[in-house]
Amino acid sequence: MTKLLDHINLPNHVAMIMDGNGRWASARGLTRKIGHIQGSKNFDKIVKHAEKIGIKHLTLYAFSTENWKRSEQEITVLMKLFENKLKRSLLDTKNSNLKIKIIGKKSDLPNNVFELSKKLEEISKNNAGMRLNIAINYGSRQEIIMVTKKIAQKVLENEIEIKDISENTFCKNLYTQDQPDVDLLIRTGGEFRISNFLLWQISYAEIFFTKTFWPDFSPNDFDEAIEEYKKRNRRFGGNMVSSF
């Protein structure tokens, strides 16, 4: 059993690609719906654990812009799970200090999910606890295009000059505009790819891949990823050597 030895050198911002619900269900002869329900339960468990050990920012990839290609039946199941989770989160706001933000193109979500997400953000905006970002209908390329358009519009309206555009300008227009870059990216489910997730924000993140499917990913597994992160020597590209 993995146990955190201490809370020194914790990553400030952890992001997670929660993958493997369908394969977890298939391996057990269950429907994908059951896999998503189990994954939703695990979401709550990992959020509580991350908050407990002192993580300041947690971003979870719940639904990508590409996920609309899934079957209508599966999308309906997922949207209902999002609706129920947002409703429960609203009920729990009196007992929670989480500051919650839904990142992604919310306007394309079903109206009930869209309205609930706005209410949850408003009610929790003054909370001082862990920042929890839930990525729903999120795609990093879409986010980068959105930011580019925002900055271009500001140039057209003479709010800024082209020469003054910097990385900081870009960061201020991201969904995560007031939060630090990701320190640690965790992907469950055994796949080794980024899947269009936080491409700007993970530029210098450490990456931890695990074969464990999301429904089985436990607090101990989370701690194992944190321990691995703490062993790494982060150089932020400073020691890159070209072969040319």
pLDDT digits (tens, 9 = 90+) for 201-232: 999 999 999 999 999 999 999 999 999 999 99
Number of domains in the chain: 1
> Which candidate in 19, 181, 183, 221 is catalytic?
19
Residue 239 within a domain: no
The confidence score (pLDDT) of residue 37 equals 97
Q: Per the domain annotation, does 1 fall within a domain? A: no
The question of whether 239 is a catalytic residue gets the answer no
Per-residue pLDDT at 239: 63
The per-residue pLDDT for range 25-69, each reduced to its tens digit, is: 999 999 999 999 999 999 999 999 999 999 999 999 999 999 999
Give catalytic status of residue 67 as yes or no.
yes
Q: Using the structure block, give the residue that is written with the tokens 């799970």.
A: 81
Residue 93's pLDDT is: 77
Q: For residue 77, is it within any domain?
A: yes
Q: Which of 12, 67, 127, 173 is catalytic?
A: 67
- Name the pLDDT band for 240 (thresholds 50, 70, 90): low
Per-residue pLDDT at 8: 78
Which domain CATH number covers 226?
3.40.1180.10
Q: Structure pTM?
A: 0.93
Quote the domain boundaries for residue 52. 13-139+181-231
Does residue 149 fall inside a structural domain? no
Residue 109 lies in a domain: yes
199: in domain: yes
Is the pLDDT at 7 greater than 80? The verdict is no
169 is a domain residue? no
Residue 60 lies in a domain: yes
Identify whether the C-beta of residue 213 lies closer than 8 Å to the C-beta of residue 188. yes
